[in-house]
Structure 1
Amino acid sequence: MGDCILKEVKNRLTPEVKYQKRIAFYGQRLEIITQHVNRLSNFRLFTFLAGVVLALILYLNQKPFWAKGIVFITLACFIALVIWHQSWKRKQRYLQVLRENYDQALKRITGEWKSFTDQGQDFEDPEHPYADDLDIFGTSSLYQWISTAKTYRGREKLKLALTELPESCAAIRQKQAAILELAGTMAWRQRFTAEAMLAKRPLTSPGTIINWAKTYDSTYLRREILLAARALPLITLTFLMLYFWKQTVSFWYPLIGLMFQAGILLLGKQRGKSLNAVYTFKEGIRIYEKMLERFEKRSFKADYLQNLKKSLLDRDGRAAFEQIRELSRLADLIANRGNAMFLVVNVLTLWDLQCMISLEAWKEKSGRSFEVWVDTIGELEALCSLAIAAADHPEWCLPVLTSEKTGVRALKIGHPLLENPVCNDLSISNESGILLITGSNMSGKSTLLRTIGINLVMAYAGVPVCAQEFGCSLFRLFSCMRVRDNLGENVSSFYAELLRIKQIVEASKQDAEVFFLLDEIFKGTNSEDRHAGAKILIRQLSKAGAMGLVSTHDLELGDLERENHRKIRNYHFREYYKDNQILFDYKLRPGVSTTRNAMYLIKMAGIDGDE
């Protein structure tokens, strides 16, 4: 009974309170472990100094046997303490990362996420149909807000989720179920992300290691090579032992064996490059292993997550993390090549050849799956990032998507990146496919367009949206809002706008499933041409069956509502004045705007029209 009550209380906790409790919990644990680390460090130093002093005293007192014993014991204890100390240091680092993760999660809730370093700026593309206009990447962007991806493929997968239209509504619904399930696994998500954050250096593109894993040299898998690699060291070591034990055995026998084995090693210069490559990938391999283990050892209900897990199994049903652990162990063995005694061990045992045989055998059996593993990790990182919206905002709604062209319907929709956004109701359907938004400066027209656009992006990514209710069709999304000139290519802002509009028009001719967001179209030309061009464009898009929103200061465009049998609907924002100040309520209202504020704002800027 008590457990049930505790569970109910936990479920009532807000995300902010949950994060605060976790930060406090890991802070306390970190303090305790840090004390252990410091004590071990001091004890290790004390053990070393005490052993040296005691051994020296015994040696000076003519007790060399006891002095040697103390040296041996001190060395053994010191090595054990070093290993123990490193183990506690790893725990300390892991807890630090976990606390940092929860601290970052709290910053998202409190609006401090704009300080996050990963803004996805390397994904910015002015040519993309909507990413630049809707702040998908860059400063104060959707990517900066939700991204917890740390691997190269994870960041790429998140980018694709935010910029590419899914194949079908069914695919989106599968992702929705996976994202909602992950949203309820706060602790697991943080630990999964922490594994990638333990890397000493940023995880770069895995292309090189993927190509390395796919290609193997079948020569090392031939039976005669395997037999020789196992038998030659055994024969040479046998002759070497016999030489020391029996005077009848000539030293030429082990010497010839060693010379022959050294010759084999000298012939394989390319072998050294392959082995060194594995050592280079060692840290990345270890990170992938730990992340896969986190995923494969946990049960999930969502079909999307279950299918991801099934794709990791090999033909014998072995888990991916077990296979990659074998590669990780091989990398540890290869790491010994830098040891001072390695040359002797290498010649005696044909160590390089043994490692190459094991590596080629691993690549032959598991190498082709390595790319699937890395992609799966990336997909999971993207899903965990997207799950943040559902976890941190349980009040948001899950979009209802339909393959039929029904439009967009939203109740109490707001901009997800704004703190305490003003919410509006909005409906775009076959009867009213284009909304013409008028209003004075700073009244909220552009924000409304971005609100609809970014929520559509989130809906197509499978994420809950900032609305009380939200339903939409599957559209190809286009925008023309933040158009810039390009001096390098000799393109003016007006011409750049024309190119973007041309892209939208051509898309509407090819496919009626187009949704557009146009902000102050043709603003780079005179008012007469702007008015005429805007009319022609809106009529053409309406005739093609495209849907969308157009914001404008051109109030005369409101006449289009009467001309097009209400397929074009007028809405507006307005301002009001109080205590000689201009104020906005950012509420969307039907009809054309009846107010203007440009001259008032000009005077506020210190420009007096009477002078």
Structure 2
Amino acid sequence: MVKSKDSILKGYQNNVTVQEAQLKEINKSLNNISLARLGLFLAEIFLVSITIYFGYYWPVGVLMCVPILAFMVLVKRQTAKEQELNYAEKLLFVYQNEVNVILNGKNKYKDGKEFEDEYHPYSSDLDLYGHASLFAFVNRSNTVNGMKLLAGSFIKPADLKTILDRQAAITELTTHIDQTFHFRAGLQNHKPEQLEIIAYKFEHQLPEQLKFTQDKLLRLYTAVVPFLTFGLILLGTLYGGLFWKGLGLLAFVNVVLNYVYSKRINVLHAGFSGSASLLNAISGTVKWTEERKWESAYIRGFLTRQDLEIPLSKRIKILSGIINSFDIRLNMLLGTIFNIFLLWDFRCAIRLDKWHAGSSDQLVRGLYTISQFEELISLATFNYNEPDLTFPVISETFHLETRELGHPLIKDDKRVVNDYSFEDLPTVDVVTGSNMAGKSTFLRTVGINMVLAYSGAPVCAAYMKVSIFEILTYMRIKDSLNDQTSTFKAELNRLKMILEGVRTLAHPLVLIDEMLRGTNSKDKYLGSKVFIQQMISKKSPALFATHDLQLSEMIHQYPDTLRNYHFDIQLAEGEMNFDYKLKEGACKTFNAALLLKEIGLSFDPDELNQVNLL
């Protein structure tokens, strides 16, 4: 059963409430742990004071170890609770973000500004990247590769099989949308480039940084140090004297070793410091992808096949544990004690070397797979949040047929939908109409829904059947002081790009919004006419929005290959009303004179009938 948008919103709001309550409980547990740690610290001070005051007595010495061991247990429990808190906070962010997107269209994920390219055949004109763009609305990726994949799916049509496979993958992920929220929460605890940095480090830096750990004598000594330490402590506790001196000598040797290797260990640790929680979360996301039996061929195709004996999720969990242990050095007290008596940093470095030898390649492949899931989840979330969307039918032959086609970035209560279809053979459709009546929005509506269709995503229409076109647009043409390009020169450059595309591409589709604005009206008309004739001769479908009514008269010369459509206004007692509905034929009602009159420019009615104010 398809949910309504109201029920989807209420579901998100309920999840926000549940997460807020859970955060309170976790914070309460953390406060209790902190109080318990303080109590153990005071107990240890009390036992030390007794020893100093009454002299050493071995039962007290044994008892002194209890608060220390209990303290270590609480530290581990606190770390787990802090990870739980961090995850709960990120999951709350995910739910709150979806509430904000539905209520006001504000998405806190990146808007893709870095992908803006005014020289691309259509991305700038169709608002694909940057502020208030399609990417800004759809993106739920938080890795660099995830964002690159999503951006890439919008800038070039996929082939028919890939589109159909992606539709199936997005549909499947939509049915598991609750799990995708947890997937996203696990990836929210890092900067976008962090996974790529980790992958680069494992591939190119770690092999050199870990060389010092492969010294056999160093490994042997590191392995036996804990047994020597605890043995000397036990013997010192029972017999005192020489054994305490032996422990002191051992500590001195360990201090020297830590000093000699400090630079190499610092460099090694710096690349992973603080990433244990991220890796732990990634382990959970990977585990979900491993455990689910995916039906979609597209997902099965990119899902990394892992060693069945030790799955990647478990390998990452082990790595997270190594890094978490390594981070003990950040605690000045514990780090000092552990390194003096256990050579803790060396032990962690050797564990990391063993892990790297057996799991590094899998990790690098797995991190990219995560980004592939992110990209599909972005489109699946878009599909889930907009229940009125439909998946288009992709035709193998020339076709465009739509019913109730609307712009996906316009809010539901303001969106106006239109039916629009191509003929069986390519035509140039001239769209005339009043200022602000909806011509430009309509062209962008057609274009942006095609972009969605070719990425495998659902479209904003009750029905859409479309073949695969290579879109070429001419809408927002502007000058450039840096490039010393005038508006007219920029228009010529764009036209040259379109004409080259029409000549070389297999299935071009041209969307033109008011051509040649940077020249006089006569040249503008003649240039537009010649361009339309070129499209007709090349049998290239085109939508041509214009204020020039003379172009609509070309239908008499090309009755089979040119069609007229328009958007108009309704005038009532001097007021203008727009319905934004596409109608057949050329426009007869315009609003320029009324708009100019509002700012103090008036015209003689007789002159107005003779002058083209379009």
TM range (shorter): 0.7 to 0.9
1:500 is matched with which residue? Answer: 494
Residues 159-214 of structure 1: CA deviation (Å, up to 9, x unaligned):
11222322x110011100010111122211211111122x1x52325443322212
2:198 is matched with which residue? Answer: 209
Q: Is the 8 A contact 1:434 1:549 kept in 2?
A: yes
Which of 107, 111, 119 is the aligned partner of 1:119?
111
Matched ranges for 1:111-510 at <5 A? 112-114=104-106, 116=108, 118-166=110-158, 168-197=159-188, 199=189, 201-204=190-193, 206-215=195-204, 217=207, 225=214, 227-233=216-222, 262=256, 266=260, 269-270=263-264, 272-279=266-273, 281-282=275-276, 284-309=278-303, 311-314=304-307, 318-338=310-330, 340=332, 354-404=347-397, 406-420=398-412, 421-510=415-504
> Shift of residue 389 of structure 1?
2.9
Distance 1:329 1:469, change over 3 A: same
Deviates more, 1:332-341 or 1:375-384: 332-341
Q: Is the 8 A contact 1:535 1:557 kept in 2?
A: yes
Distance 1:598 1:356, change over 3 A: same
Secondary structure (helix, strand or coil) at the match of 1:425 reads strand
Secondary structure (helix, strand or coil) at the match of 1:279 reads coil
Residues 262-314 of structure 1: CA deviation (Å, up to 9, x unaligned):
579837854642343233654543443332223223332211122233x2414
> Shift of residue 384 of structure 1?
1.0
Residues 39-60 of structure 1: CA deviation (Å, up to 9, x unaligned):
7626854884699599979989
Matched ranges for 1:40-79 at <5 A? 41=31, 44-45=34-35, 48=38, 52=42
The answer to whether structure 1 residue 34 and structure 2 residue 24 are counterparts is: yes
Identical residues among aligned pairs (%): 26
Q: Is the 8 A contact 2:186 2:278 kept in 1?
A: no
2:597 is matched with which residue? Answer: 603
> Shift of residue 528 of structure 1?
0.6
Which of 16, 23, 32 is the aligned partner of 2:13?
23
Q: Is the 8 A contact 2:276 2:321 kept in 1?
A: no
Cα separation, 1, equivalents of 2:89 and 2:443 = 41
Distance 1:42 1:22, change over 3 A: same
C-alpha RMSD of matched pairs (Å): 4.1
Deviates more, 1:238-247 or 1:414-423: 238-247
2:611 is matched with which residue? Answer: none
Cα separation, 1, equivalents of 2:342 and 2:61 = 31
Give the letter for the 2:540 counterpart.
Answer: A
Cα separation, 2, equivalents of 1:412 and 1:127 = 31
Which sections of structure 2, spanning at least 5 residues, go unmatched? 605-614
Cα separation, 1, equivalents of 2:248 and 2:73 = 37
> Shift of residue 463 of structure 1?
1.1
1:7 is matched with which residue? Answer: none
> Shift of residue 448 of structure 1?
0.6
Cα separation, 1, equivalents of 2:591 and 2:248 = 98
Give the letter for the 1:273 counterpart.
Answer: V
> Shift of residue 518 of structure 1?
0.7
Q: Is the 8 A contact 1:445 1:573 kept in 2?
A: yes
Residues 377-433 of structure 1: CA deviation (Å, up to 9, x unaligned):
1121111111123212333221111343x1322112111111232211112245243
2:556 is matched with which residue? Answer: 562
1:538 is matched with which residue? Answer: 532
1:549 is matched with which residue? Answer: 543
Give the letter for the 2:381 counterpart.
Answer: I
Distance 1:380 1:55, change over 3 A: closer
> Shift of residue 368 of structure 1?
2.9
Deviates more, 1:297-306 or 1:13-22: 13-22
Cα separation, 2, equivalents of 1:391 and 1:425 = 24
Give the letter for the 1:151 counterpart.
Answer: T
Deviates more, 1:335-344 or 1:365-374: 335-344
2:98 is matched with which residue? Answer: 105
Distance 1:327 1:600, change over 3 A: same
Give the letter for the 1:386 counterpart.
Answer: L
> Shift of residue 221 of structure 1?
8.2
TM-score using structure 2 length: 0.83
> Shift of residue 468 of structure 1?
1.6
TM-score using structure 1 length: 0.84
Q: Is the 8 A contact 2:306 2:362 kept in 1?
A: no
Cα separation, 1, equivalents of 2:26 and 2:248 = 51
Q: Is the 8 A contact 1:414 1:451 kept in 2?
A: yes
> Shift of residue 510 of structure 1?
0.9
Distance 1:52 1:71, change over 3 A: farther
Q: State the aligned residue count.
A: 591
Distance 1:567 1:363, change over 3 A: farther
Cα separation, 2, equivalents of 1:434 and 1:94 = 54
Give the letter for the 1:289 counterpart.
Answer: S
> Shift of residue 527 of structure 1?
0.7
Give the letter for the 1:38 counterpart.
Answer: K
Cα separation, 2, equivalents of 1:337 and 1:51 = 20
Cα separation, 2, equivalents of 1:588 and 1:106 = 33
Cα separation, 1, equivalents of 2:255 and 2:555 = 89
> Shift of residue 471 of structure 1?
1.3
> Shift of residue 93 of structure 1?
4.5
Q: Is the 8 A contact 2:479 2:490 kept in 1?
A: yes
> Shift of residue 594 of structure 1?
1.8
> Shift of residue 231 of structure 1?
2.9
Deviates more, 1:535-544 or 1:487-496: 535-544
Deviates more, 1:431-440 or 1:82-91: 82-91
Which sections of structure 1, spanning at least 5 residues, go unmatched? 1-10
Cα separation, 2, equivalents of 1:51 and 1:252 = 27
Cα separation, 1, equivalents of 2:70 and 2:240 = 38
Q: Is the 8 A contact 1:219 1:225 kept in 2?
A: no
Deviates more, 1:566-575 or 1:49-58: 49-58
Q: Is the 8 A contact 2:40 2:70 kept in 1?
A: no
Cα separation, 2, equivalents of 1:299 and 1:184 = 13
Cα separation, 1, equivalents of 2:402 and 2:286 = 39
Cα separation, 1, equivalents of 2:242 and 2:80 = 51
Secondary structure (helix, strand or coil) at the match of 1:176 reads helix
> Shift of residue 90 of structure 1?
4.5
Q: Is the 8 A contact 1:272 1:352 kept in 2?
A: no
Give the letter for the 2:125 counterpart.
Answer: D
Cα separation, 1, equivalents of 2:519 and 2:294 = 57
Secondary structure (helix, strand or coil) at the match of 1:453 reads helix
Cα separation, 2, equivalents of 1:211 and 1:52 = 46
